[in-house]
Structure 1
Amino acid sequence: MTSPASTLDSSRPVRPGEELDAAALARWLAGAAPDFAPSPIDIEQFPRGFSNLTYLLRLPGDRELVLRRPPKGVKKGSAHDMGREFRILRALHARGGKVPRPVGHCDDESVLGAPFYVMERVRGLILRAAPPPGVPLTPAVMQGLSASFVDAMLEIHRTPLDAEGVRELGNPEGYVQRQVQGWAKRYRAAATDPIADMETLAAWLDANRPGEWGAALIHNDFKYDNMVLDPADPTRILAVLDWEMATLGDPLMDLGTTLAYWVDADDPPELRALGLGITALPGNLTRAGLWARYGALAGRPLGNPGFYYAFGLFKLAVIAQQIYTRYKAGLTTDERFGALIDAVRALAAMGNRVAAIGRVSHLAGE
């Protein structure tokens, strides 16, 4: 069997054009975090992310940090606001939340060419699109993990809104309308190819907005590959990563985004082909099961999940479109992004199917 160490999320050499100035970084660390300022620093890159760039910093003494910065060619906004993400981590870490310990933040673009922040690395298992070798993801493990997943989401949603570092994140009132109309606007700003299904889905979402269910701190990208798990017990969540899109808003919209990443075993081939994750493994909660568990733990009726799932699919399609647009403009060299326009089409078609049938599971054959 593969050892636990070999299942840890692996880094690779930095992609051309995305290098960091190691000497400048060492000088910054010496002033901002003297405990982590030895030289030299060995820098590698985590290749999996589709949004901000994430680097592994290896320091003498087997110490490791993680650095995050925006990619080239993006406008400054909440999803690429390094200071905002750093403050969220700091607030949650101070409350004992399952997040890495933040080390420091730099807004001075003369250091590395963009704002960035640094946090301690949490070593553990991250589940990607395929099961890692040597990790027995049995039905019992997947059942326990998916239950822990819902519990962790609800724990975040129950964070007091008046907590320091949380109350400054925004106004939750009118969140559903802002999200629906905002993502439609982002799509039109990034569109490269005419995709009628995207316009149809955007119009349906705007015409079928539900009332606000509640207000909470929401992660907005809550999925398995944004979690660090205990390699010895994969049902145990050590840390939640990637808080770049966190805000205050309707928690069911957060749940809808999660549903968009959640693939069921009986889903249509075009949805399974997107390789969104391993949620179709035996024992894992289905989308309907995830929705039901959240509702049972929340102690309140949630209503029909169809709108929220359709919104999540639309949002995911817009994100794919934005990344594809950067790729077409030559602002990233990552060849994975060249096929994302096909993902936009597939997600939009599935969103319209969900809108028509009004449910989140058993989608094939409709």
Structure 2
Amino acid sequence: MVPAGLQHTPSRESTPGLNLERLRTYLMRYGLTLDQSIAPKRFSAGYGNMNFLLNTKEKPLVLRRPPLGPVPRGANDMSREYRLLSGLHPTLPLVPKAELLCDDLSVIGAPFLVMEYRPGLVIGAEISSDTVEKWSGTEPIGHALGGRIIDVLARLHAVDFQACGLGDLGRPEGFVARTLRGWSKRAHLSWDGDAPGDLTALAEWLEAHQPEAIGPSTLIHNDFKLDNIILDPERLEPRTLIDWDMGTLGDPLYDLAVLLSYWTEADDPEPMHQLRQMPTARHGFPTREEAATLYAKACGRALHEFTFYRVLATLRIAVVFQQLYRRYESGGTDDPGFARFDDLARGLLHFGLQVAREHYY
């Protein structure tokens, strides 16, 4: 079964990102036989890491590797992701089982990991009409999905990371201040000395509004959103939580704010609709404020000074899209869709200021 979100790779000889002969030899060392009659298929969603469905004679597997071209230091960390999967899978079964980690660049030209494959439904910018028509729940499909997204996040933040052997994964002390410094630095590098006025204003607001008291740290995903949850196609229950290369220990309110930075509402300004990350502006999804309230109730956690986290997460997503634009501008990708990301990033900076002024939640 091949889920939505995969694109067929025409032949074994034309699989960018993989050297199939060397990969076949590597897998054989671990008792896995790559089926050479079926070409790997690449998951087509996302702008970052590359994911391939591998058919081996033993079982289907997923190979995950960094994107082609230069990778920023510390980004797309396969070793970190492998450690997280290995530690979390026994405690949080939504996390897939890691099978192999390879840091030998001679195999496919980059580090990679291999993990179990769990087929299912991935929902990105839109919910297909077929999925909507099949929905048999008594509540709107978006209301059900919104609640399930929040439930998964709450379950993640309840994990005992010490018991999982992940107590030294990151540096939770000073997480918020360090995160603010990091994204501010990336922002100025991304605009290369030509910082928009909204970026300057946003950075000044964030510096002036850092929370004084921060609650207990938890394990955080750091890019938690709907398309990183693989769903049962019929019941839409979560099956798998993926994309762990940025996972760390930190402030759970930041994880919630990152989720809400993708959460578009019907009356949002145009840049939020141009994100096209989650279908939350339709189908009866909760609003951002309602989703945050659901989270607070599920975790028993107060949302103190949450506007700061929302603004910080909006800065983050603006910088991410500006970094993608710079990759396009420098020739790192020829995808014409990246050409619009400069305007999108600037629009998100302006939206961040509106959130800071409490014009939007």
Whether TM-score is above 0.5 comes out as yes
Alignment correspondent of 1:291: 292
Alpha-carbon contact 1:142-1:281 (below 8 Å) kept: yes
1:45 correspondence with 2:56:
no
Answer whether contact 1:102 1:119 (CA < 8 A) is retained. yes
Q: Distance in 1 between matches of 2:220 and 2:21?
A: 37
Q: 1:289 to 1:233 in 2, by over 3 A?
A: same
1:35 to partner: Cα distance: 3.6
Contact 2:97 2:115 in 1 (8 A): yes
Q: How many residues align?
A: 352
Q: Describe the SS at the equivalent of 2:132.
A: coil
Residues 1:201 and 2:235 are matched in the alignment: no
Aligned to 1:363: none
Show the counterpart of 1:121. 117
Check conservation: 1:218, 1:251, Cα contact below 8 A: yes
Q: Is the 8 A contact 1:174 1:212 kept in 2?
A: no
Is 2:91 the counterpart of 1:92? Answer: no
Contact 2:34 2:54 in 1 (8 A): no
Q: How much has 1:304 moved relative to structure 2?
A: 4.0
Residues 358 and 329 (structure 1 numbering): CA distance in 2 closer, same or farther, change over 3 Å? same
Number of the residue aligned with 2:235 = 233
For the residue of structure 2 that corresponds to 1:185, the secondary structure is helix
Deviation at 1:332, TM superposition (A): 2.3
Structure 1 distance, partners of 2:53, 2:330, is 27
- Per the TM alignment, residue 60 of structure 1 is displaced from its structure 2 partner at its CA by 4.6
Alignment of 1:1-366 (within 5 A): 8-13=4-9, 18-31=16-29, 33-40=30-37, 42-60=39-57, 63-71=59-67, 72-77=69-74, 79-136=75-132, 139-192=139-192, 194-210=195-211, 211-234=213-236, 236-357=237-358, 359-360=360-361
CA RMSD across the alignment: 2.2
Q: Is the 8 A contact 1:197 1:349 kept in 2?
A: yes
* Secondary structure of the corresponding residue to residue 42 of structure 1: coil
| Cα 1:14/1:292, change in 2 over 3 Å | farther
After TM superposition, give the deviation of residue 38 of structure 1 in Å.
Answer: 4.5
Structure 2 gaps of 5+ residues are none
Kept in 1, the 8 Å contact 2:77–2:246? The answer is: no
Q: CA deviation at 1:216?
A: 0.2
Per-residue CA deviation, residues 188-245 of structure 1 (Å, 9 max, x unaligned), is 22225542212221221122111312200000111111110000111x1000110111
- The change in CA–CA distance for 1:74 and 1:206 in structure 2 (over 3 A counts) is same
CA distance in 2: counterparts of 1:114 and 1:7, whole angstroms: 26
Q: Residue 53 of structure 2: SS of its match in structure 1?
A: strand
> In 2, are the aligned partners of 1:12 and 1:47 still within 8 Å (CA)?
no
How far apart are the structure 2 equivalents of 1:51 and 1:191? 20
1:320-358 per-residue CA deviation (whole Å, 9 max, x = no partner) reads 112221222212233322221111111101001111126
Distance 1:245 1:184 in 2: 18
Amino acid at match of 1:158: A
Query: What's the CA shift for 1:39?
Result: 3.8
> Aligned residues: percent identity?
36
Once residues 151 and 64 of structure 1 are traced to their aligned partners in structure 2, the CA distance between those partners, rounded to angstroms, is: 29
Gaps of 5+ in 1: 361-366
Contact 1:306 1:359 in 2 (8 A): no
**TM-score w.r.t. length of structure 2:** 0.91
* Higher deviation after alignment, 303-312 or 201-210: 303-312
Amino acid at match of 2:42: Q
